[in-house]
Amino acid sequence: MSRLSVRKTYKLFIGGAFPRSESGRSYIVTSGKSEVNAARASRKDARDAVSAARKAFPGWSAATPYNRGQILYRIAEMLEGRRAQFAEEMGGGKKASLEAVDATVDRLVWYAGWSDKIASVRGSANPVAGPYFNLSTPEPTGVVALIAPADPLLGLVSVIAPAVVTGNTCVVVASEKTPLLAITLAEVLATSDLPGGVVNILTGHQAELAPWLAAHMDVNALDLTGVTDPDLALRCEQSAAENLKRVIRPATEDWPADPGVTRLTAFLETKTVWHPIGT
């Protein structure tokens, strides 16, 4: 007797939980030799994700840099523990897939190591003409909306890690064509020490979600790296200007290359404090 095959449905990741899209919509993506359903997030889901990120921001930004680095290191450990699963989901050659997973683990460890050092690089003691100390220190911007690149794992982690290790929280729109690794990564995040709401992952249509996140007044910064449509990128930049969001424009990235500190400093604000000497 023949049986009806049932496609697996992947959910969203919002506030540390895995809800279905409030719209009930999904779209079909290919996973290996089979087809599965990925949730198609709506504007309401995007608003919920921003609310979760905003709620998590005070606690996460107040955590010590060392603590944030240790949590990223724990994520790297858990990702390495599921190395074979991630490599299988990536498809392609087994050796190349394993190397991509290893590079992602290394990238997480690299950013974890920067957690308590970036303040020394970005901060400064400034000379002034008077009996004062003048100190500049970096602080996180707030809620960051990330449009993830097509690279489904290394590129994804390379935009998430620098944003959160510096104290920001984020809403991520996963790659439209290859969203499954993002949701599998969400399973790692959910079982790590990362507080709920620090990273929120939406799957769905980029053109549907990106403009609403760009226009959202409670989003403080926008990373358009994964946007491939120049017209969509322009509309998002124009919307982002309404509340002076920091914006990373679309660009071709060499993800395996040394990332430098550009993304670490992209979503930091500099606070300068004056203090009288001798008091």
- Give bridge partners of residue 39 from the DSSP assignment: 26
CATH number of the domain located at residue range(s) 42-276 in this protein: 3.40.605.10
Digit-coded pLDDT (tens) for 147-167: 999 998 999 999 999 999 999
Give the chain's mean pLDDT.
93
What's the confidence (pLDDT) of residue 121?
Answer: 87
Do 52 and 44 contact (CB within 8 A), yes or no? no
Q: Hey, how many other C-beta atoms are within 10 angstroms of the C-beta on 123? A: 16
pLDDT band at 279 (very low <50, low <70, confident <90, very high): low
Residue 7: pLDDT band (50, 70, 90) is confident
What would the two tokens of residue 20 be? 């279905």
Each residue's pLDDT tens digit, 8-36: 889 999 999 999 999 999 999 887 667 88
Q: What is the model's pLDDT at position 132?
A: 87
The residues near 124 (Cβ < 8 Å, ≥ 6 apart) are 135, 136
* Choice among 91-100, 103-112, 200-209 with the minimum mean pLDDT: 91-100
pLDDT per residue over 108-119, tens digit each?
999 999 999 998
Provide the residue ranges of all domains of the chain, joining segments of one domain with +.
42-276
